Amino acid sequence: MESMAMRPALLAPEIVLFLGGLVALLGGSFLARTRQWVTRAVAAAALLVAAALAALDLPGPARSAMEGTFTVDTTTGIARIVAALGTLIVLALASDEIAGTPRESETYALLLFSTTGTLILAGAGDLLVVTVGFLLASIPLYGLIGIVRTPLGAEAAMKTYLLGALFGILLLTGVTLLYGVSATTSYAELTDRLADAPAGVVAAGVVAVLGGLLFKAGGAPGHFWVPDAAQGAGGAVAAFLTTVPKIGAVVAAYRLVALLPDTLAWPLLVALLAAASMTLGNLAAYWQSDPRRLLGWSTVSQVGYLLVPVAVAGRSDLALPSLLLYLAGYTVTNLSAFAVTSAFPQRRELRSYRGMGRTHPWLGAALVVALLGLVGTPPTVVFVGKLTTTAAAWDAGYAWLAVLVFVNTVASLFYYLRWIAPLYNRAEGAGQPEEDAGTPARWSRTSAIGTAALSLLLGVGAGALWATVSL
């Protein structure tokens, strides 16, 4: 049978990324400090090759690899492209921040390993493969967060590790329960077998697996580590952990929910998790003065929006395309906002951005586009993502969830405005010079402007993007 073949060539993007990580890790040990940029070039090449392979394979039919435990389809292809290109942007941010430091090559290797785990999560067709992807995406993240060796970084790394261990055990417990009542971990057989299994055990197992995936995505109730990590980690790592891992985690959650039998109210459960995540993230973001911590809580709320199409998986034809479009749009827009903070790493208070829009108009414009994009303001691509995910919820009969998305979107505007407002304010007192925002880091500045422009271009060309994700 075709589905039972190994077919390792179908995992070429994942293999390229993992080997690229190994080359960067080992090669960095033999290179002088001044030549560590070679490992950055290796990492960038691996990401570009992986994205290109995924793009070439995108129009093809859905296929299975590794004896049916890994699925290669449009969803996997989009996740591969978005994750690889997202990590490539993170590399650009890292080149400003860690170039010439003792841990440069290790950072690039860990980024590639974690991205590989993200891609494995996105294509997993077996609960055991989900577990492997979860571990491969998570373990490098602990090292990345703590690699800055600051008190805040150490605290964030410890919190992330402890929560990761807890939710990892929870995920393994869920896999064990589901295997115990179905005698299989393969998605191809789970639907029919879970329909005949004891409902209570199935519920406990699915909730546990979803809990593990929500930790990886950064959504409630596994969200507690996200704002601390966004604040305590380096700028490039903060951009990575709030963006790339959730691509695989949310796609894995979608695949799991889509196969569940109708014996229990799974859509309602996921809808409640979405509502809790978007509302909690928005409420907590109101009180933040550190821009990266604010973006961390914003990430929690964005996971809530991403869970909306997961809640209606299989109940609306709009669900999967809207999820993929939102993931692509969020990745570009969130990275743009973090790129601005990396361009001015010394600015760790919202008020310190006062006048930056006047002294650096292009960066100011990029930040405005990114923040209004995260709100979901047209013509940015996140606007189209929110519109289509809300339409999917409405189409599936979850009008209350669609209304809640709208309410939370309006509410989020106020805390983003707290950051936007100082950008164009003049210094207090007549005749006083505007606050100097300093010289922005070159690669971060370019990345911020480029990704903000891409957010607008993808929003204007959303029709073509929608056609791609709907293949």
pLDDT of residue 456: 97
Are 301 and 278 in contact by the 8 Å Cβ rule? The answer is: yes
d(CA 309, CA 307): 6
d(CA 111, CA 113): 6
Helix/strand/coil percentages in the chain, nearest 5: 75, 0, 20
Facing residues of 126 across strands?
Answer: 186
Q: Which residues contact 129 (CB under 8 A, 6 or more apart)?
A: 66, 69, 70, 120
pLDDT of residue 396: 95
- Per-residue pLDDT reduced to its tens digit, 293-314: 999 999 999 999 999 999 999 8
Q: Tell me which long-range contacts 37-42 makes (C-beta under 8 A, separation of at least 24).
A: 37/95, 37/99, 39/104, 39/105, 39/108, 39/109, 40/91, 40/94, 40/95, 40/99, 40/104, 40/108, 42/108
pLDDT of residue 165: 96
Residue ranges of domains in the chain = 1-157+224-257, 283-428+435-471
d(CA 173, CA 12): 31
Give the residue ranges of the chain where pLDDT is below 70. Answer: 1-4, 427-438
d(CA 304, CA 247): 13
Q: What is the DSSP secondary structure assignment for residue 3, as one 8-state letter?
A: G
- Per-residue pLDDT reduced to its tens digit, 183-210: 999 999 999 999 999 999 999 999 999 9
Are 354 and 435 in contact by the 8 Å Cβ rule? The answer is: yes
What is the CB neighbour count within 10 angstroms for residue 53?
21
Are 121 and 161 in contact by the 8 Å Cβ rule? The answer is: no
3-state class (DSSP) for residue 434? coil
Token pair, residue 45, equals: 């090449």
Is the peptide bond prior to 433 cis by the omega test (within 30 degrees of 0)?
A: no
Distances (CA, A) of 292 to 35, 218, 347: 31, 15, 10
Q: Residue type for 17, please?
A: L
Facing residues of 65 across strands?
Answer: 70
Facing residues of 70 across strands?
Answer: 65, 124
pLDDT of residue 470: 85
d(CA 462, CA 116): 28
Would strands 70-72 and 63-65 be described as parallel, antiparallel, or unpaired? antiparallel
d(CA 309, CA 326): 10
Token pair, residue 326, equals: 């939102």
